[in-house]
Amino acid sequence: MSMERISMRKIQEVLRLALGEQLSLRDVGRSISASPSTVQAYLERAKLVGVSWPLPEGLDEAGLEKLLFPSGQPAGGGQRALPDYAIVHQELRHKGVTLTLLWQEYKACRPDGLEYSQFCERYRQWAGKVNLCMRQHHRAGEKLFVDYAGQTVPVECFPTGRIRQAQIFAAVMGASNYTYAEGTWTQTLPDWIGSHARAFSFFGGVPAVLVPDNLKSGITDACYYEPDVNRTYLELAEHYGCVVIPARTRRPKDKAKVEAGVLLIERWILARLRHRTFHSLGELNTAIRELLTDLNNRPFKKLPGCRRSSFESIDQPALKALPLQPFEYAQWLTVRVNIDYHVEVKRHYYSVPCSLVKCRLDVRLTDHTVECFLKGRRVASHLRDDTVGKYTTLPEHMPQAHREYLGWPPSRLIHWAETIGSATAAMTKHILQTRPHPEQGYRSCLGILRLSKTYGNERLEAACCRALGLQSFSYKSVKSILKSGLDHRPLTPRITSVPIDHSNVRGSQYYESLANADLVQGGAKC
């Protein structure tokens, strides 16, 4: 006998009404919204296993189900074979596979199996026990979740009219859901760091933990177990007294707060700005700030208050105070000290102690300073100078014995040049003598002398001779002459005047005679 599927609670009600209250099958069926045949089927199954009313003490719904359905078949399932939902779950990960397709394949093998609605319902019940979510409880002022929205905002730059896409930075407090958002041109490290500093100012304090996504600007190596945080990002965290704990790779639920915050920003801010035209980033951020206030003041649906009131009562009192000095953005570089005890930073050269020749140094570059570090110890500091190709040299970096340390005194370079030729030696002497410090000409001289390995001594000597004639004293000029083969051509002297013999050309004497005649006439008039 087939049975409609009803819950175990209703089966207990069938037993109570039919066996305890002695109601008819029809009355019991009306009470539980089932047919009399279904009521009779469950009563017969209960009689078969010896279940009566009242139920034995300690027998709950799970125990009653095992007695009535010892095969493990749920109530109302009959003897139909159930699908293997672990396989169904695995197959759904393939592209294009749906529950409808899997149900059709299941019915093709089991014509008496579950219908589509039951197939889907039972799969959802099974999957709900597999994909369990841990509810995270956030302490006051503990975590700030940060990320970028996937949606961008077009900005029509004035006066060019070029369209640029502004990125949207989002930060959400864990306990109160208080939200901050702003537009930046890029997701690069300077914008990433600047957005954090402005977010801290917006919140009026600093959380204990920053939880970013594995953005390349913040996380250099997105390892699942030991991610490497960008050095500038770590410096930001040290300045503000917090710690960076990135979300695990491919685990968006680790930062569910900011994922939900980004969704709200896209719905309640960006969607409302879709018809507006912005001509600058500042104009866009002004509009975002106005709508952000409205978002944070919107009442919660299931909780009292709003994001702002929740932040003021929960997160704000627990935040750390902002430092007295704002964070100064710094870029870290790795450089190698050349034999002239200078390092190249943004095509400018800064001196370091000459004992560090050929060592690798870490350079901290800010808007105003350039600091060089060796294994965490600062060895040099300069004011930043962006003049390309120039040198910034401190006298204390040039000790009296620097020639012995370096092994490249000017006399050695000149002697090397003399072995190639007189023109090469003259070029080397001129470069060394025209620099404020001879060491600043080492790079150019070495570059010129090493061209002999590629082109040979004879060609280099000819190229230097031609460069001297052209008054061009640089490595690039000599290399250009060799590369273009001009060293094989004789250097023609510059011609100041070209004599032309023609009847229409009067010559200089004609104009001199006219000038003298004018002077004579002028004197007569006087």
Q: Is the pLDDT of residue 524 over 50?
A: no
Nearby residues of 46 by Cβ (< 8 Å), 6 or more positions away: 15, 19, 52, 68
Cα–Cα distance for residue pair 193/128, rounded to 1 Å: 40
Place 71 in a pLDDT band, splitting at 50, 70 and 90.
Answer: low
Torsion sign over Cα 453, 457, 463, 468: positive
Q: Please give the mean pLDDT across all residues of the chain.
A: 81
Q: Is the pLDDT of residue 338 over 60?
A: yes
Q: Is the pLDDT of residue 516 over 70?
A: no
CB 320 within 8 A of CB 206: yes
Q: Is the pLDDT of residue 77 over 90?
A: no
Cα–Cα distance for residue pair 262/97, rounded to 1 Å: 29
DSSP label of 206: B
Strand-pair category, 391-392 with 377-383: unpaired
Q: Which strands make up the sheet holding 348-351, listed edge to edge?
A: 342-345, 348-351, 391-392
DSSP label of 55: P
DSSP label of 272: G
Q: What is the dihedral of CA 468, 470, 472, 477, to 10 degrees?
A: -100
Place 525 in a pLDDT band, splitting at 50, 70 and 90.
Answer: very low
Q: What per-residue confidence (pLDDT) applies to 287?
A: 94
Span 11-27, pLDDT tens digits:
878 888 888 878 888 88
Residue type, 444: S
Q: Is the pLDDT of residue 518 over 60?
A: no
> How many C-alpha atoms does 301 have within 13 Å on its Cβ side?
0
Using alpha carbons only, give the angle 43, 49, 51 rounded to the nearest 5 degrees. 60
Q: Is the pLDDT of residue 509 over 80?
A: no
Distance from chain centroid for Cα 148:
9
Instruction: Count H helices and E strands in the chain, helices first.
Output: 20, 15
Q: Tokens 């930062």 appear where? A: 255
Identify the three-state secondary structure at position 2. Answer: coil
Q: What per-residue confidence (pLDDT) applies to 519?
A: 45
Q: What per-residue confidence (pLDDT) applies to 143?
A: 87
**Lowest-pLDDT range, 190-199, 247-256, 288-297, 469-478?**
247-256
Cα–Cα distance for residue pair 157/278, rounded to 1 Å: 8
Cα–Cα distance for residue pair 427/474, rounded to 1 Å: 8
Cα–Cα distance for residue pair 4/236, rounded to 1 Å: 65
Topology of domain 143-318 in CATH is Nucleotidyltransferase; domain 5 (3.30.420)
Mean pLDDT of 333-342: 90
**Lowest-pLDDT range, 121-125, 218-222, 470-474, 491-495?**
491-495
CB 464 within 8 A of CB 478: yes
CB 334 within 8 A of CB 362: yes
CB 226 within 8 A of CB 171: no
Q: What per-residue confidence (pLDDT) applies to 369?
A: 93
Place 202 in a pLDDT band, splitting at 50, 70 and 90.
Answer: very high
Q: Is the pLDDT of residue 364 over 70?
A: yes
Helix/strand/coil (H/E/C) assignment for every residue in 312-359: HHHHHHHCECCCCCCCCCCEEEEEECCCCCEEEECCEEEECCHHHCCC
Span 123-147, pLDDT tens digits:
888 877 765 555 556 688 888 999 8
Place 506 in a pLDDT band, splitting at 50, 70 and 90.
Answer: low
**Lowest-pLDDT range, 130-144, 181-195, 306-320?**
130-144
Place 72 in a pLDDT band, splitting at 50, 70 and 90.
Answer: very low
Span 378-421, pLDDT tens digits:
999 999 998 998 889 888 887 665 555 455 677 888 888 999 99
Cα–Cα distance for residue pair 456/459, rounded to 1 Å: 6
Q: Is the pLDDT of residue 288 over 80?
A: yes
Span 33-70, pLDDT tens digits:
778 888 888 888 888 878 888 887 777 777 777 777 76
Mean pLDDT of 455-483: 90
Q: What per-residue confidence (pLDDT) applies to 220?
A: 65
| Count of C-beta atoms within a 10 Å radius of residue 331 | 16
Span 232-272, pLDDT tens digits:
888 898 999 998 888 766 566 656 666 787 888 988 899 99
